[in-house]
Amino acid sequence: MNCLDREIRQDLDTFRLLKSPERNFLLQSISDGVSKYLYEFNLATQEWGDFEPANYLNSTHPDSIFMKSLLVVLQTPSGKDVLIGNRLKSVSEGRLVELTVNREEIPAFLQRKFSLRYQP
């Protein structure tokens, strides 16, 4: 595989776009020196029906991260806020702040931080 471009840094994340031997593109993330493939794609035209099975699987399969845990991501002008379960990672201007939200406080926290209403 060959790297198409330089590594790109966004907030505290680093990404690399590679081209596979099959001429597909692979997006790779690099964190703490460990690389991980996020997904593979090509430039073929896609129709909505091409996405429906994966969307259904991601939203219903018991092993999906979306079924296992609460997951909210909000891009902000200076970074992003990511809530997974009751752990918040907030990145702003290259600084990371992490905190734990008490489970009973999650509904109010979702409203305050993400403008979302929690419905169990």
Domain ranges of the chain: 2-41, 62-114
Tell me, what's the pLDDT at 19? 87
Distance CA(18)–CA(4), nearest Å, equals 6
For residues 13 and 28, the answer to whether their CB atoms sit within 8 Å is: no
pLDDT in tens, the chain (120 residues): 666 667 888 877 889 998 888 888 999 999 878 889 998 999 999 899 989 999 999 999 999 989 999 999 999 888 899 999 999 999 998 899 999 999 999 999 999 999 999 876
List C-alpha distances in Å: 113 to 29, 76, 104, 105, 106.
27, 11, 15, 12, 10
Tell me, what's the pLDDT at 55? 93
Tell me, what's the pLDDT at 60? 95
Residue 83 burial (C-beta neighbours within 10 Å; 0-12, 13-18, 19+): buried
